Amino acid sequence: MSRNLDLELVSLTKRYGNTVAVDAISYHFGTGTYACLLGPSGCGKSSTLRMIAGHESVSEGSVLLGHRDISHRPPAKRGTAMMFQNYALFPHLSVADNVAFSLKMQGKDAAHRKTRAMEMLELVDMVALADRLPAQLSGGQQQRAALARALITQPDVLLLDEPLSALDPFLRIRMRAELKKLQRELGITFIHVTHGQDEALALADEIVVMNNARIEQAGQTRQVFDAPKTAFVARFLGSHNVVAMPEGAIAIRSDALELKAPEAAKLPGTITNIEYQGTHVALTAVIPGDQEVTALLSDKDFFGNPRELGEAIGLDWEAGAAHALAG
């Protein structure tokens, strides 16, 4: 019943002249996964997405969808659809005509186009605005129209290029909940490019952290977050301290740190900053080697035993909480 629609990247490479934008990356996205490509700008995540979409030629390697090699097919013949960063809605067409654009290109008749476009607009709750022009829509509405347009071709994989970056923070959180809900309902694979770790953590079943044209670490979101393998991943995902220890660098989550007496703990330190964050208190301390670490304490723990700036403390953690880092 369920078709194999796994998306596979096989040593996918993109070169621009002598620069390598994507360096032989390989990954397997299972059918119906919500995956995030996460990384700083220029890490190759967008090029990767554009190669999957067919808007960028593949220099080497291949993209497989359900075991078919789609690396050299035109964008519309791949089973993928793309939602662009600025939504790329056609400014001269109404929302309904934007959504039905691909059907028009296929030469479908007007009645059929109208019905299908309305179905799609129903899905994203935009029926009332079908006759508006894109310029008359808010950012969130434009995004929904762009989603409907991408989904009307019934793609097996939806590619989203920084879909939330143009929205204000409040709307961003609402739209990301809607994206996740839509993905669950449709059951198709979503591949979402972002540089926001909170967005990735909130949405993704799997995350692929990229840096310098390579995959730094990839896997189930929780596994990656709980056990970052490199200092880059630990820092990029946030909420981690990277500490150089005599036996090598380790990553420890800031909420895994406990405060103890200096002599009873693994690391001695001096408090340099205390930041109240509502539910938590972030406490920054300097430890030997002039390194800064941040401990995140619940407000109850902190105010049960308040500390002062400049106070000497000991930082301790459970044995399993620290992860040795490579590189």
The nearer residue to another protein, 55 or 214, going by C-beta atoms, is 55
The nearer residue to another protein, 86 or 115, going by C-beta atoms, is 86
Among 105, 111, 264, 319, the residue binding another protein under the rule CB under 8 A is 105
* Length in residues, the chain: 327
The nearer residue to another protein, 144 or 280, going by C-beta atoms, is 144
Least distance from C-beta 109 to another protein, angstroms? 16
The nearer residue to another protein, 113 or 240, going by C-beta atoms, is 113
Q: DSSP 3-state assignment of 215? A: strand
The nearer residue to another protein, 91 or 327, going by C-beta atoms, is 91
Least distance from C-beta 157 to another protein, angstroms? 12
Least distance from C-beta 148 to another protein, angstroms? 12
Least distance from C-beta 250 to another protein, angstroms? 43
State the Cα–Cα distance between residues 256 and 293, nearest whole angstrom: 12
Q: Which residues lie below 8 Å from residue 149, measured CB to CB, with a gap of 6+? A: 89, 98, 99, 101, 102, 120
Can you count the helices (H) and strands (E) in the chain?
10, 18
The nearer residue to another protein, 152 or 271, going by C-beta atoms, is 152
Least distance from C-beta 152 to another protein, angstroms? 9
Question: By the 8 A CB rule, do 190 and 183 touch?
Answer: yes
Give Cα separations from 66 to 30, 72, 196, 216, 323 (angstroms): 10, 15, 29, 25, 36
Among 73, 104, 108, 114, the residue binding another protein under the rule CB under 8 A is 104
Least distance from C-beta 104 to another protein, angstroms? 7
Residue 248: both structure tokens together: 């090598």
* 57 binds another protein per the rule CB under 8 A: no
Report the site for another protein in 59-98 (rule: CB under 8 A): 74-77, 81-82, 84-86, 88-92
Least distance from C-beta 114 to another protein, angstroms? 17
Report the site for another protein in 106-165 (rule: CB under 8 A): 106, 149-150, 153
The nearer residue to another protein, 150 or 231, going by C-beta atoms, is 150
DSSP string, 35-96: EEEE--TTSSHHHHHHHHHTSS--SEEEEEETTEE-TTS-GGGTTEEEE-TT----TTS-HH
Q: Which residues lie below 8 Å from residue 61, measured CB to CB, with a gap of 6+? A: 9, 10, 11, 12, 13, 24, 25, 26, 71
The nearer residue to another protein, 6 or 97, going by C-beta atoms, is 97
State the Cα–Cα distance between residues 258 and 283, nearest whole angstrom: 11
Report the site for another protein in 183-202 (rule: CB under 8 A): none
Dihedral sign from CA coordinates of 121, 31, 27, 78:
negative
Using the CB atoms, write b or e for 148-176: b if 16+ within 10 Å. bbbbbbebbbbbbbbbbeebeeeebeebb
Closest CA to 314 of 256, 242, 244, 261: 261
The count of chain residues that interact with another protein, using the rule CB under 8 A, is 25
Among 23, 24, 31, 55, the residue binding another protein under the rule CB under 8 A is 55
Least distance from C-beta 189 to another protein, angstroms? 16
Binding site for another protein (CB under 8 A): 53-55, 74-77, 81-82, 84-86, 88-92, 101-102, 104-106, 149-150, 153
